[in-house]
Structure 1
Amino acid sequence: MAVITKADFIDSVESALQFISYYHPKDFVDAMHEAYQKEQNSGAKDAIAQILINSRMSAEGRRPVCQDTGIVTAFVKIGMNVQWDTDQTVQEMVDEGVRRAYQNADNPLRASVVANPMGPRKNTRDNTPAVVHISMEPGDTVTVDVAAKGGGSENKSKFVMLNPNDSIVDWVLETVPKMGAGWCPPGMLGIGIGGTAEKAMVMAKESLMEPVDIHELLEKGAETPAEKLRLEIFEKVNKLGIGAQGLGGLTTVLDIKINHCPTHAASLPVAMIPNCAATRHVHFTLDGSGPAELEQPSLDDWPEVTWEVGDNVRRVNLDEITATDVQEWKPGETLLLSGKILTGRDAAHKRIQELLDKGEPLPDGVDFNGKFIYYVGPVDAVGDEVVGPAGPTTSTRMDKFTRMMLEKTGLLGMIGKAERGDVAIEAIKDNKAVYLMAVGGAAYLVSKAIKQSRVVAFEDLGMEAIYEFEVKDMPVTVAVDVAGESVHKTGPAIWKVKIEEMA
């Protein structure tokens, strides 16, 4: 009978979360590299290149691949013959491992969990509690699948209760385009089919713990209904032309995962959860002999990919930019930004709105007139870093604030990830502003362009405070121009037609 100690369990959770913060699974790296090699859309290819370069940099520097270091989910399977040596519950031990991992002095991870979701949404400061699923099974070991899921991809989770004879494929093909690019494709789609509503969601989430192996399935051929469904969805979703970061291209999904179980005769529950370009999960087993030992990957596992600045790149001095200048920028154009920008996310925008509604001035140091705002919540810096990983957050969450910011603060433009909704695009067009897209999933790479950083307002909000960054050659793409043309609408439409023509 194995005896699992509290110390071994907590240490294993802590080390696993540190491990996945900077090491992508090799299967994911290989699949992303294959997508890079075959991609024909230059914008999507550049985005994948940045993701791969960022992945290698994170592995080398042991710093997070993404600034959103996720909410922790743990699937804990306990053997029936296991004996515990602990005075804590499994939930309490997982939470202690999370707390230690996220407050690690050498590699602090961003605390993103807030208590009281109905409000006030107060950050717990240590990323606890985790979401823990516990099950019992035969044996005398404890196996754990631990993942850190970013909000951008988690927010795109979908569920439907279909009729028994409805098409799952049709629902997926209808739903994926509506998810936008906030989940940072290319990634995986986890699908849970059957059971009840909550069971389908849990199965979808757990399927994302599996390795990328769709190409092995393609080679051997489908033998079961689930395998046939995986291949059909894989082929048809990629034919949608959504592409990397939603810019249009050949690869939207790297794999399709399906878990299923029996369900009621009147029901067909279907859940779909995407995994983003910051895929983070690892599996370990405890047998009573000590904490888990995770094998450190070789840097040779990462491909040698470079990202070159093309001849058509426009260098922009943000400290001298004018409203006339931005009217020259074209959709899809690459810019290298230098100068000062302010940051702000959901909580900061809400406070700004409250101040403006009361007729009160913005805090000292917060002047958006003629400036750009970067939607980001960075990781704390360590050592000689100016700032920790600082990639963009999903911009659509700020859509409802866009007209206010443009018309009441004098803001000239915004930087974030993924598409903007129609409300934001109309506001951008009406105010002759612009929206620029940075690559989601390249947070450590982006942080190297930030040369100075300081908090200027709302320090109590932690990672959601307003910072002032000084950047040098920060790469972005013009995603919405002053006329309201969005590359996230034109790109996928063009590439869907191109893929049909290729077929």
Structure 2
Amino acid sequence: MTVIRQDDVIQSVADALQYISYYHPKDFIDAMHQAYLREQNPAARDAIAQILINSRMCATGHRPICQDTGIVTVFVNVGMNVRWEADMGLEDMINEGVRRAYSHPDNVLRASMLADPDGARRNTKDNTPAIIHHKIVPGDTIEIHVAAKGGGSEAKTKFAMLNPSDDVAAWVLEQVPKMGAGWCPPGMLGIGIGGTAEQAMKIAKEALLDPIDIHELQARGASNRAEELRLELFDKVNKLGIGAQGLGGLTTVLDIKVRDYPTHAANKPVAIIPNCAATRHVHFTLDGSGAASLPAPKLDDWPEIAWEAGEGVKRANLNDITPEEVKRWQPGDTVLLSGKLLTGRDAAHKRMADMLAKGEALPVDLKGRFIYYVGPVDPVGDEVVGPAGPTTATRMDKFTRTMLEQTGLLGMVGKAERGPTAIEAIRDNEAVYLMAVGGAAYLVAQAIKSSRVIAFEDLGMEAIYEFEVEDMPVTVAVDSRGESIHKLGPAKWREIIAQQS
């Protein structure tokens, strides 16, 4: 009988979470590199290049791939013949591993879990509790699959209770464009069909743990309905032309995963869960011999790619930028930002909006300034800031008109598209929205030369910082006339793909 020690579980979970914070799975790197080589849209190709360069930098520097170091999800299969040497329950052991991983002094991971989610929303400080699923199975080992899932991609999850005769593929193809780019494509879609509502969600999430193998499936052909659906959706989703970061292009998904489960005769529950460009998961087995050993990948696993600004790049000094300069920018333009850049996301925007509604003065003057939607990782060593990639901009849409019209804010930087409400406010105020690449947080942080908190320090990573940036690469996503690259790009590439088919 195998004896599993409590400390081995805790240490293995902690090591796994550190490991996946800076190592992409090799299958993901290979698939992303193939997408880079195939891509014909320069903007999308540039975004994929930044993701791959960031991945290599994180692997060598052992720092997080994304500033959103995720909500931890753990799937555990416990062998029936295992005996425990422990005084903690399984969930407590796993959560202790999470606690140790996220507070590791050499690679601090951002704690994003909030207790009292519909009330005070207090940060638990250590990213616990994890979401844990476990099964008792035959055998004398424990298999654990650890994943860290970002909030931006999790927010784009879709679920429907379809009628038995409804077409699953048609429903998925209707939903994917509604997901926008906030899930940071290219990535994967996990699709769960059957069971009950919660079972469909669970198997969709679990499907994302499978290796990327769509091209092997294409070569051998489908042998069941789930595989047929994978092939159909892989082809049709990519023909939507959404592309990397929603800029338009040939690759929106690297793979489609489908799992099913028997369901009630009156039901067809279907869930879609996207996995972003910060795909992070690892599997290990405990057999009583000690903590899991996770071998470091070889540096040769990453392609050698250099990022260059290219022709036509614009440079902007944020310290003296004018509305007239902003009006000359066009959707899709690459701009290198230098100078003083403010930060602020959900909690800071809500607090500022509340203060303005009460007639109170803000602690920082936003007139003519740019604000970056980011919640950075804490720095380690001689870093001025930890990985600092953008968060999903649509969450700030409801504050946009207030910020532009009552503070004189000139520009915003974030991830993915803006909704109609924000685009109208940007157009009416002749402001601008710029997009940084989601999934390239460590690379973005290299452009930040200094950082200081200037307001709302109690909000932690959601406080207002002032960054000094140098040549921070961004794309003009919504120009001063309200033209959006996230509408123009996919429409153009959907047409190009249709002509090539």
- Shorter-chain-normalised TM-score: which range? over 0.9
Paired residue type of 2:200 = A
**1:270, distance to aligned residue in structure 2 (A):** 0.4
- 3-state DSSP of counterpart to 1:415: strand
The whole-number CA distance in structure 1 between the counterparts of 2:407 and 2:119 is 27
Aligned residue in 1 for 2:171 = 171
Aligned residue in 2 for 1:50 = 50
Query: In the TM superposition, what whole-angstrom CA distance separates every residue of 1:454-501 from its partner, at most 9, and x where no partner exists?
Result: 111111111111100000000000000000000000100110010000
Mapped pair 1:449 → 2:441 = no
Structure-to-structure mapping, 1:141-152, within 5 angstroms: 141-152=141-152
The whole-number CA distance in structure 1 between the counterparts of 2:172 and 2:296 is 36
**1:261, distance to aligned residue in structure 2 (A):** 0.9
Query: In the TM superposition, what whole-angstrom CA distance separates every residue of 1:363-387 from its partner, at most 9, and x where no partner exists?
Result: 2xx1111000000000000111110
The whole-number CA distance in structure 1 between the counterparts of 2:369 and 2:190 is 40
Mapped pair 1:381 → 2:383 = no
Structure-to-structure mapping, 1:358-369, within 5 angstroms: 358-363=358-363, 366-369=364-367
The whole-number CA distance in structure 2 between the counterparts of 1:201 and 1:44 is 30
Mapped pair 1:234 → 2:215 = no
**1:222, distance to aligned residue in structure 2 (A):** 1.1
The whole-number CA distance in structure 2 between the counterparts of 1:350 and 1:96 is 33
**1:239, distance to aligned residue in structure 2 (A):** 0.3
Paired residue type of 1:204 = A
Aligned residue in 2 for 1:466 = 464
**1:275, distance to aligned residue in structure 2 (A):** 0.2
**1:118, distance to aligned residue in structure 2 (A):** 0.6
**1:87, distance to aligned residue in structure 2 (A):** 1.1
- 3-state DSSP of counterpart to 1:445: helix
- 3-state DSSP of counterpart to 1:132: strand
Aligned residue in 2 for 1:308 = 308
Paired residue type of 1:353 = A
Aligned residue in 1 for 2:23 = 23
The whole-number CA distance in structure 2 between the counterparts of 1:355 and 1:224 is 58
Aligned residue in 1 for 2:389 = 391
**1:312, distance to aligned residue in structure 2 (A):** 0.3
Mapped pair 1:297 → 2:297 = yes
Aligned residue in 2 for 1:92 = 92
**1:343, distance to aligned residue in structure 2 (A):** 0.3
- 3-state DSSP of counterpart to 2:262: strand
| CA root-mean-square deviation | 0.6
Aligned residue in 2 for 1:428 = 426
**1:144, distance to aligned residue in structure 2 (A):** 0.5
The whole-number CA distance in structure 1 between the counterparts of 2:182 and 2:163 is 29
The whole-number CA distance in structure 1 between the counterparts of 2:31 and 2:208 is 15
**1:170, distance to aligned residue in structure 2 (A):** 0.1
Aligned residue in 2 for 1:478 = 476
Query: In the TM superposition, what whole-angstrom CA distance separates every residue of 1:432-462 from its partner, at most 9, and x where no partner exists?
Result: 0000000000000000000000111111111
Task: List alignment gaps of at least 5 residues for structure 1.
Answer: none
The whole-number CA distance in structure 1 between the counterparts of 2:311 and 2:205 is 43
- 3-state DSSP of counterpart to 2:52: helix
Paired residue type of 1:118 = D
Structure-to-structure mapping, 1:167-206, within 5 angstroms: 167-206=167-206
Counting matched residue pairs gives 501
**1:38, distance to aligned residue in structure 2 (A):** 0.4
Following superposition, which runs of at least 4 residues in structure 1 exceed 4 angstroms of deviation? none
The whole-number CA distance in structure 2 between the counterparts of 1:466 and 1:33 is 36
Mapped pair 1:70 → 2:70 = yes
- 3-state DSSP of counterpart to 2:471: strand
Could you tell which deviates more after superposition, 348-357 or 56-65? 348-357
Aligned residue in 2 for 1:221 = 221
Query: In the TM superposition, what whole-angstrom CA distance separates every residue of 1:180-238 from its partner, at most 9, and x where no partner exists?
Result: 00000000000001000000000000001111110111111111111111000100000
The whole-number CA distance in structure 1 between the counterparts of 2:16 and 2:209 is 14
Aligned residue in 1 for 2:347 = 347
The whole-number CA distance in structure 2 between the counterparts of 1:120 and 1:77 is 35
Paired residue type of 2:76 = V
TM-score, with structure 2 as normaliser: 1.00
TM-score, with structure 1 as normaliser: 0.99
Query: In the TM superposition, what whole-angstrom CA distance separates every residue of 1:60-81 from its partner, at most 9, and x where no partner exists?
Result: 0000000000000000110111
Aligned residue in 2 for 1:122 = 122
Aligned residue in 1 for 2:140 = 140
Aligned residue in 1 for 2:489 = 491
- 3-state DSSP of counterpart to 1:144: strand
The whole-number CA distance in structure 2 between the counterparts of 1:51 and 1:410 is 33
Aligned residue in 1 for 2:13 = 13
Paired residue type of 1:6 = Q
Aligned residue in 2 for 1:438 = 436
Structure-to-structure mapping, 1:320-331, within 5 angstroms: 320-331=320-331
- 3-state DSSP of counterpart to 1:263: coil
- 3-state DSSP of counterpart to 1:110: coil
- 3-state DSSP of counterpart to 1:78: strand
